[in-house]
Structure 1
Amino acid sequence: MQIKATLVDAVRNRQAVLFAGAGISWQAIGFGGLHIRDQLGMQIERDYPGYDYRSRSVEEVCDEYLVLNDRIALVDRLAALIPQDRIPQPSHVAAVKSFRFIVTTNWDLLFESAYRQINQHYQVLSQDADAPMFSYDQHNLLKIHGSADRPVSLVATTEDYENYAETHARLLDKVADLLQNNTVLFVGYGLRDEHVRRLLSQIRRQRQQWTRKAFAVGFFDEVRTKLLASRQIEVIDADADEFLVELMKQAGIC
């Protein structure tokens, strides 16, 4: 697998940040967002037999579950749906070895398991109050949509997303700093999250021709590839799991 020298060098020199999405966890967890939607939807359907959860998004079902129950019931139910005993993929291990900074929207605990597997000290930032813990001298896992082992941290409803810039301002500042000052590698991530898109757009406006090129690993069609290129994100057509392992090898990280 041929990987651009600039990306390999950035990883080798610890000048890169990994942005990981659900695609990197699929094989280990065994399901995605639609499974979570269906499990919540079936709970609602028990009280409302005419409820058509299959026509709704995950976010919409979370909104409606919250209205019919309460916030605690929602986040506890969501956390219970995420298995916490899964073995990390080789790609997770490669990621925690290769990147000092990992940003993820995933709720699962696979990165944490990978850190423990290699006996690497790390810290998790999953709520705005955690932002002061960030350190350039440590391995940092920024779980910007919360973590399953801290149910109250989960970001799931429309209100959560709409208020995110206010409720997670300090955490967003850390993410913005990482994205602005490092080569960014998106893996298993659809690049559709509103907050991340806004950050990237802001960085492009501020730095203009000095904006660092970012990379996105995945199988995107031609139109999506052109769209990402217009945002200075180069697509790497490769399997996410295989790519991270190979990147670690080419960067000479053991």
Structure 2
Amino acid sequence: MISWPDQLVSDIARRRAVLMIGSGISRHSVGEQSARPPTWRGFLEAALEKCNGKSAHIKKAIQKGQYLDACEWLKKHLDDEWVPLLRQSFMQPKFQPAEVHKLLYQLDCRIVLTPNFDVIYDGFASTESQHTTLIKNYDDADIIDGIRRNDRVVLKVHGSISEPGKMIFTRSDYALARTTHSGFYSLLDALITTNTLLIVGAGLDDPDFQLLFEDSAARFSSGLPHYMTSGDNFHEDMIATIRKTRNIKVLPYSAKLNHAALVESLSDLVKLVGEKRDFFQRTTDW
């Protein structure tokens, strides 16, 4: 079970927190024929099976964790088979929202970031809010309007399977996006600097967020921490390094039984946030 810091509970209750949802949350969903959304590595390995010709260097890159390079090369080799494979992996199984998606929605964070390509949380949030939650891609021109107003917004940081051609998935995609959509990255930087982030189901290997968190931690070393739930058994030295270099406080839990402890902990967090909001309403201490 996760022991939720009071600072985090208060920030969520005051809607001073931004929720970041990673691919680990999507893995809770089940689609047709009991399919689950693939991990990044799982998708690359499936793509590699369709790659004819010399592919030993791609397999080696995947084994070394060089996913951006492997993805770049696989996209080139698969050519017109690439988009159908993306849709087959992330859309066609018709993944259904899981309990964890419902709990995260119940936290009622006004801004949700997600690098996920699938539309599992997006679709649930849109339906549950009677389509009043705005779903915005990194290249949408009116993102800032939704942020400045009182809208609930889901920001698709790397695009969506709904538009495969705009997905940020390869090394060249990342490099191009940082230049072409620099305004969006400035927005992410501002959100990280001025809000508390609760990171759920995401790792530390995304190059964009690595830079953003490291830059923010270096510029504002005395700032309040962000928080990341983790079922990984990080060594205490790694936990200290994450806190020092990215100002992220790790909230560990047991990953047994398909991360059941995370779901139970989020249920407790929803209750704690609700109680805190009731308190703020009574005291008008917003």
Scaled by the length of structure 1, the TM-score of the pair is: 0.87
Aligned to 1:56: 61
Instruction: Return closer, same or farther for 1:180/1:13 CA change in 2, 3 Å cut-off.
Output: same
Are residues 1:82 and 2:90 paired?
A: yes
Q: Secondary structure at the match of 1:129?
A: coil
Shifted more, 171-180 versus 29-38: the winner is 29-38
The verdict on how the C-alpha distance between 1:194 and 1:61 changes in structure 2, with shifts beyond 3 A counting, is: closer
- In 2, distance between residues paired with 1:219 and 1:65? 30
Q: In the TM superposition, what is the alpha-carbon distance from 1:148 to its structure 2 partner?
A: 0.9
Q: What count of residue pairs does the alignment treat as equivalent?
A: 249
Question: Match of 1:128, SS?
Answer: coil
Opposite residue 153 of structure 2, the aligned amino acid is N
Counterpart in the other structure of 2:282: none
CA distance in structure 1 between the partners assigned to 2:74 and 2:91 by the alignment = 21
Does 1:157 pair with 2:170? Answer: yes
- Where does the alignment leave 5 or more consecutive residues of structure 1 unmatched? none
- Which of residues 249, 262, 270 in structure 2 aligns to 1:234? 249
Counterpart of 2:231 (choices 216, 219, 222) is 219
CA shift digits 1:108-138 (9 cap, x unpaired): 1111232144235211222323434532411
1:14 pairs with 2:15? yes
Maintained 8 Å contact 2:51/2:78: no
Instruction: Note the residue ranges of structure 2 that are not aligned, 5 or more in a row.
Output: 31-35, 254-260, 278-286
Distance 1:134 1:202, change over 3 A: farther
SS at match of 1:17: strand
Q: Deviation at 1:184?
A: 0.9
Indicate conservation of the 8 Å contact 1:17/1:185, yes or no. Answer: yes
State how far apart, in whole Å, the 2-side matches of 1:216 and 1:36 are. 24
Aligned to 2:281: none
The whole-number CA distance in structure 2 between the counterparts of 1:180 and 1:36 is: 33
Equivalent position of 1:115 in the other structure: 125
Q: After TM superposition, list the pairs within 5 Å mapping 1:101-250 onto structure 2.
A: 101-120=111-130, 121-130=132-141, 131-136=143-148, 137-209=150-222, 211-220=223-232, 221-222=234-235, 223-230=237-244, 231-238=246-253, 239-250=261-272
SS in 2 for 1:251: helix
CA distance in 2, matches of 1:28, 1:118: 17
Letter in 2 for 1:196: F
SS in 1 for 2:221: helix
Partner of 2:106: 97
Percent identity over paired residues: 21
Cα offset for 1:69? Answer: 5.0
Q: Distance in 1 between matches of 2:88 and 2:72?
A: 18
Quote the residue 2:43 is aligned against. 36
In the aligned structure 1, how far is the partner of 2:272 from the partner of 2:186? 31
What CA distance in whole angstroms lies between the structure 2 residues aligned with 1:200 and 1:192?
12
Change (3 A) 1:113 1:242: farther
Aligned residue for 1:146, secondary structure, equals: coil
| Aligned-partner SS, 1:44 | coil
User: How far does residue 82 in structure 1 lie from its aligned partner after superposition?
Assistant: 0.5
Q: Residues 8 and 251 of structure 1 are in contact (CA less than 8 Å); yes or no, is this contact kept in structure 2?
A: yes
- Given residue 51 of structure 2, which amino acid in structure 1 is its aligned partner? I
